Structure 1
Amino acid sequence: MVAVAWYAWHCILLLAEVYLRVGGGSYSDIGLRLYGRWMQYAVISSIVLAQIGGCCAYTIFVAQNWRSVFNAVGGHRAQLSTEFWIVAQAAVFVPLALIRQIRYFAPVALVANVLIIASLGYLLGFDVWHIAAHGPAPFANYNPARFPLLVGTAVYSFEGVTLVIPILESLHDKRGFARVLTIAITLCLGLFVCVGSLSYLTFGELVNPVVLLNLPDTSAWTLLVQLLYSIAILFSMPLQLFPAVRIMEDMMFTRSGRDHKYVKWQKNLFRTATVLLISLIAIYGADRLDNVVSLVGSFCLVPLSFIYPSSMHLRAVARTRWVRAKDWALIVVGVLTMVYVTYISIATWGGGGGDLPPS
């Protein structure tokens, strides 16, 4: 986690340096300026796939929490599947996906952040109490078969490179960007390590990819936390999908739906179809959330977060032999990580690859 945090931090600074050197432009525009159309399309494709993949992971997460809450409240008499809750969730997700103005998501995003912070506080409190009362659960220091999934998950956790340029454009004093970035990533790293390690010490080998499902479902507080956290993630999904939909619409439609109702309904159908596609993918990966997250992290976000920024820095900024060698090293490590972790994420998908060797 520390290594991936440093990797993400460094590559974000590389992209910021490239942005300032070439004189602005979007992420894909910078790729176009430095390498041509193929880099522009590569950046756009990675952004779209990453946003859609993130929505798939969110959908599975919410569905699993809703299933747990409903089954507990119903006394486990009616066991509705995760797939059912994915379909039910689509009924909520579709109207939210039709919202055109991103500013409407601001109040909802603020409420979602508050709910997430409160839920994580409850989880950490439970972990500390349980370890103090019962001691740590038996644990393994290293799992060679599934360790690569952690690499993809860590990359997914520190994804944020697509926000670099919008943040830089909004800053009055761009010199403070590195300091703010360092503080933000350090806080995130501390939170991720605490939640991951304490929850594993609490539940041991029984730990669930969605750790909230490990909490005792006999507690009203646990059910409330699961419900509120899942609602927070549900309302975060339209914000996650928004950039991908806008990019695809700009490529598919030449006219605005504001003045042409027919075009507007075409876009509505396209957004609805996108949500249904996300639901279908989520149904396929309903029981493999850890693999879904790792696959999104390795195949979509490793290029976006590590390979592209290093490549752009190599072309636009690097002048000394040491800097060029460092950029090449970052590119090679990124490519090897993408290929290897993507392979492991797919190879262990069916559940039968638990003893798969790492090489």
Structure 2
Amino acid sequence: MGLLADCSHHLCKKTKSVSLDYGEVAYEATHLSAAKRFNSYANIARITVNTFLFFSQLVFCSIYIIFISDNIQQIYIQFHPNHTPVVQVFMVILTIVILLISYIKNLDALAIYSAIGNLILIVGSVIVFEYLIAGIVENKTDISSLPLFDTVANFPIFFGTAVFSYEGIGVVLPVENKMKHPRHFKKTLHISMAIVTILYIFMGTLGYMRFGLDVKDTITLNLPQDQGLYISVRIMLSLVLVVSYAIQFYVPIQ
């Protein structure tokens, strides 16, 4: 992400541009390449980068739809135990809503919702952390009985999850281009990535210590299903992801 921002700065100076998007960075990098044989492939580079970016964001962001739909289904079952629609029903409805939100093209307007979403995310995370820690202390979990590593066969799943956890490459340039002081971007990026890393390590470790091999794909699915506080956490986190989806999908929509 830092290298991408540096490349954008360098090419902006060479082309005297105010800002460049992903396709434009690919175009200028190829067009101005010292290796002359690449210069004629500038348009192909732009189309390739934009195509890959679109599909990568689409696939990454589909995880959000699965997460939200699973949580909505759990909440629905709680209030309608005799009627359980398949999760795909919620996915279809959610996709329509998210597509409409994604057509908000003003990143400044989305930033307000993102800030509110971050506050909600902090509250929800604190509640989840409190539940995990309280459960570990109360149950006096024997950590030594938990396997330290999973099988090699499951490593690709871990690797994919880890890469997804840092998925944000699609919004690096739009965020940096909209910053009041773009020169502070890399410092902001490093601080935010450090915070994200710490939070993921703690959430993953505590979740595993609390539930062991019974831990679900998403920790919210392990929360009590019949308590209002934890139902509210699912609702809060789902709302946050609906809003953040529009930011993640900002570039592909463009």
| TM-score higher than 0.5 | yes
Deviation at 1:171, TM superposition (A): 4.8
- Identity level (%): 21
Q: Structure 1 residues 47-56 or 13-22, which shifts more?
A: 13-22
Deviation at 1:186, TM superposition (A): 0.8
RMSD between superposed Cα atoms in Å = 2.3
For 1:139, the aligned partner's letter is L
Map of 2:10 onto structure 1: 21
Map of 1:127 onto structure 2: 132
Q: 1:234 to 1:25 in 2, by over 3 A?
A: closer
Q: Is 2:216 aligned against 1:221?
A: no
Deviation string 1:174-232 (CA, Å, 9 cap, x unpaired) is 55433322211111100111111111111111111121010111211111111121122
Q: 1:106 to 1:165 in 2, by over 3 A?
A: closer
Map of 2:89 onto structure 1: 84
Q: 1:33 to 1:65 in 2, by over 3 A?
A: same
Map of 1:46 onto structure 2: 52
2:60–2:167 Cα contact (<8 Å) kept = no
Number of residue pairs matched by the alignment? 234
Deviation string 1:248-294 (CA, Å, 9 cap, x unpaired) is xxxxxxxxxxxxxxxxxxxxxxxxxxxxxxxxxxxxxxxxxxxxxxx
Deviation string 1:25-54 (CA, Å, 9 cap, x unpaired) is 323212112222332222212211122123
1:30 to 22, 25, 29: 25
Map of 1:59 onto structure 2: 65
Deviation at 1:83, TM superposition (A): 1.2
Q: Distance in 2 between matches of 1:231 and 1:142?
A: 34
Q: Distance in 2 between matches of 1:222 and 1:171?
A: 36
Q: TM-score of the superposition, structure 2-length normalised?
A: 0.82
Q: 1:16 to 1:219 in 2, by over 3 A?
A: same
Map of 1:200 onto structure 2: 208
- Unaligned 5+ segments in structure 1 are 1-11, 247-359
1:31–1:40 Cα contact (<8 Å) kept = yes
Q: TM-score of the superposition, structure 1-length normalised?
A: 0.59
Map of 2:245 onto structure 1: 237
Deviation at 1:167, TM superposition (A): 4.1
For 1:37, the aligned partner's letter is N
2:107–2:247 Cα contact (<8 Å) kept = yes
Q: 1:241 to 1:84 in 2, by over 3 A?
A: same
Q: 1:172 to 1:82 in 2, by over 3 A?
A: closer
Q: What SS does structure 1 have at the residue aligned with 2:249?
A: helix
